[in-house]
Structure 1
Amino acid sequence: MGIVLLIIIGAAAGFLATRAFGWEADIPTTVVIGMAGALVGGFALRALVTMAVWMAGFVGAVLGAVALVWLWQKYGR
């Protein structure tokens, strides 16, 4: 369902993008450009979000380990 939604949104985005740049294109070209842009942008954004989530988990793990080492040194001995 996600790809179908990207295609539908892409058709509208292509129309808006061609109008924003003042480019007069026929309807099929406008729709194809918008769909391709939506697919590329959607997949790129998902990849960036996935990397951000992974990095957040890594930072959280490091901070947790630092906190435990500090607690162990302060109260463990």
Structure 2
Amino acid sequence: MAELMDKIFVVIGYILAILFPIVGIIVGALLYFLKKEDAFYQTHGKYIIIVGIAMIAINILLIAFGIITIPPVGQV
């Protein structure tokens, strides 16, 4: 049962890294630094951080090339 919860927690970390990169980076850092005795958490924590950083870079590129636009303040 504990292994299933470990896997679910890691999957949630990846999902957060994709949908909310800043939150995903925080979750990845928590896994990486707080679970140092467990190689499973450390490995996936590092990968979750990488996915979060990659998603931020992709979002910046999409905004820079005009594929995604940000509406001005006060307009929706």
TM-score scaled by length of structure 1: 0.42
Q: Which has the larger radius of gyration?
A: 1
TM-score scaled by length of structure 2: 0.42
Q: 1 or 2 for the larger relative contact order (CA 8 Å, sep ≥6)?
A: 1
